């Protein structure tokens, strides 16, 4: 794998944009202007970006409740995303879906999902479409360690194996499902190992290392595109904030909370590697940082100023026709 400089800068830009998007939501949430439940992706950006930047619009992803990062990485419009989170008419889903259902099927995004693990069978369906219609596309489902215990996730893995679908199950193991540790709910304490027994390659990667994810996913993608069937990737990831905004995280020690930003920040790690490897200068990266801040600020202001949907349109789009 030899990523070009532009690619590396683009990766950094996407991760930085997601980070800024989420930090902004975190700050703005206290204003009460953002409705509903919010699950932030801060800390896990390397995963979404290293995966999605290898995909194109014929490829599909299915995301979960913690979906902002996946959608942004896959190319959803940043402003449309922000407006959606504020419940505005010009949001990506016209304010109907919000954070937990944000989607853009035209960009191959089958949506965030409020049902833990549901994305696995849905994405497997997209992989079936790709195989049946010969589109050359692949499908990826993003789910957490908690989701790894949902039976239908195993069902989807089994079918992907049976039918040798172009499908990749990407588990972001951030150590917690809501407030409960991975080691408590995964009896075997080994998500990748459990999956491997279904008959497909399953690897574990460091989800704070953009390059490690990029490489492992690249391998899986190559197999999928070549018709060699599905794969599983389990990434050790890190969640900076609580399960949802407002979660006091009484189950995490202060040491853990302090150390993750210090030692396990995928963005900081990428930045250091880029500079150390002479792939980018501090100035170049600072510029990207600055641009991300400006972009998100502009989106936020646009979102605040935008109009809510008209209640007269409440029932629109329940059906195509009825």
Partner 1 sequence: MAEMAMRAAINSALVQEMTRDDRVILIGTDIAGGQMGSGGQEDAAGGVLGITKGLLPRFGAARVIDTPIAEMGYMGVAVGAAATGLRPVAELMFMDFIGCCGDMLLNQAAKIRYMFGGKSTCPLVMRTMIGAGANAAAQHSQSLYHWMTAVPGLKVVVPSNAYDAKGLLATAIRDDDPVIFCEHKALYDLPSAKVEVPEDDYTIPFGEANYVTEGSDVTVVALGLMTHIAAGVAAAMAGKGISVEVIDPRTTSPLDEESILESVESTGRLVVVDESAARCGFGHDVVALVADKAFHSLKAPVKLVTPPHCPTPFSPPLEQAWIPSGERVARAILETLGLDRAAIDAALAAA
Ligand X SMILES: Cc1ncc(C[n+]2csc(CCOP(=O)(O)OP(=O)(O)O)c2C)c(N)n1
* Cα angle 51-289-239, degrees, rounded to a multiple of 5: 50
Q: How close are the terminal C-alpha atoms of the chain, in Å?
A: 51
Q: How many residues contact ligand X, by CB under 6 A?
A: 15
**CB 316 to its own copies: min, Å:** 35
Residues 243-282 that bind ligand X (CB under 6 A): 243
Nearest alpha carbon to residue 185 among 245, 145, 151, 158 = 145
Give the helix, strand, coil percentages of the chain, each rounded to 5.
50, 10, 40
Q: Select from ligand X, Mg ion, partner 1, none the partner in contact with residue 132, using the beta carbon and a kind-dependent cut-off of 5 to 8 Å.
A: partner 1
69 within 8 A of 239, measured Cβ to Cβ: no
- The structure tokens listed for 78 are 């940043």
Distance CA 269, CA 183 (A): 26
Residues 47-106 that bind ligand X (CB under 6 A): 65-66
**CB 165 to its own copies: min, Å:** 11
Query: Which one, 18 or 288, has the nearer CB to ligand X?
Result: 18
Query: Which one, 128 or 293, has the nearer CB to partner 1?
Result: 128
Distance CA 46, CA 8 (A): 12
**CB 150 to ligand X: min, Å:** 7
Kind of pairing between the strands at 180-181 and 60-62:
unpaired
Q: Looking at 45-53, 172-180, 250-258, 288-296, which segment touches ligand X (CB under 6 A)?
A: 172-180
User: 33, 57, 178, 256: which one contacts ligand X (CB under 6 A)?
Assistant: 178
Residue 234 interacting with Mg ion (CB under 5 A): no
Burial of 22 (C-beta count, 10 Å sphere; 0-12/13-18/19+): buried
Residue 314 interacting with partner 1 (CB under 8 A): yes
Q: Select from its own copies, Mg ion, partner 1, none the partner in contact with residue 129, using the beta carbon and a kind-dependent cut-off of 5 to 8 Å.
A: partner 1
Nearest alpha carbon to residue 191 among 235, 221, 229, 158 = 235
The alpha carbon of 177 is separated from its chain's Cα centroid by a whole number of angstroms, namely: 16
In the block, residue with structure tokens 């259902």: 101
Query: Which one, 176 or 211, has the nearer CB to ligand X?
Result: 176
Residues 158-177 that bind Mg ion (CB under 5 A): 174, 176-177
Residue 115 interacting with ligand X (CB under 6 A): yes
Binding site for Mg ion (CB under 5 A): 144-146, 174, 176-177
Binding site for ligand X (CB under 6 A): 65-66, 114-116, 143-147, 174, 176-178, 243
């Amino acid at each position: 794998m030899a990523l070009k400089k532009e690619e590396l800068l683009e990766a950094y830009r996407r991760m930085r944009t997601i980070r800024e998007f989420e930090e902004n939501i975190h700050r703005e949430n206290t204003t009460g202007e953002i409705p509903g439940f919010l699950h932030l992706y801060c800390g896990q950006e390397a995963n979404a970006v290293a995966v999605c930047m290898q995909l194109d619009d014929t490829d599909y992803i299915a995301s979960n409740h913690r979906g902002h990062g996946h959608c942004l990485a896959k190319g959803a419009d940043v402003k449309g995303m922000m407006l959606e989170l504020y419940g505005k008419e010009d949001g990506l889903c016209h304010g109907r879906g919000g954070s937990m259902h944000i989607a853009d099927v035209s960009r191959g995004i089958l949506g965030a999902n409020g049902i833990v693990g549901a994305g696995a069978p849905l994405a497997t369906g997209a992989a079936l479409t790709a195989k049946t219609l010969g589109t050359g596309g692949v499908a990826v489902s993003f789910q957490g360690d908690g989701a790894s215990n949902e039976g239908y996730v195993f069902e989807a893995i089994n079918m992907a194996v049976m039918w040798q679908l172009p499908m990749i199950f990407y588990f972001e193991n951030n150590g917690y499902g809501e407030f409960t540790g991975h080691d408590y709910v995964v009896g075997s304490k080994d998500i990748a190992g459990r999956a491997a027994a279904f008959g497909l390659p399953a690897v574990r990667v460091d989800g704070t290392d953009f390059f490690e994810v990029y490489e492992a996913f690249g391998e899986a993608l190559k197999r999928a595109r070549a018709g060699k069937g599905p794969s599983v990737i389990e990434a050790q990831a890190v969640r900076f904030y609580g399960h949802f905004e407002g979660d006091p995280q009484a189950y995490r020690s202060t040491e853990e909370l302090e150390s993750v930003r210090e030692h396990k920040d995928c963005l900081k790690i990428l930045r250091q590697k880029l500079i150390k490897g002479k792939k980018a200068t501090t100035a170049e990266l600072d510029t990207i940082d600055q641009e991300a801040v400006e972009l998100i600020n502009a989106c936020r202001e646009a979102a605040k100023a935008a109009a809510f949907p008209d209640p007269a349109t409440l029932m629109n789009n329940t059906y195509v026709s009825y």
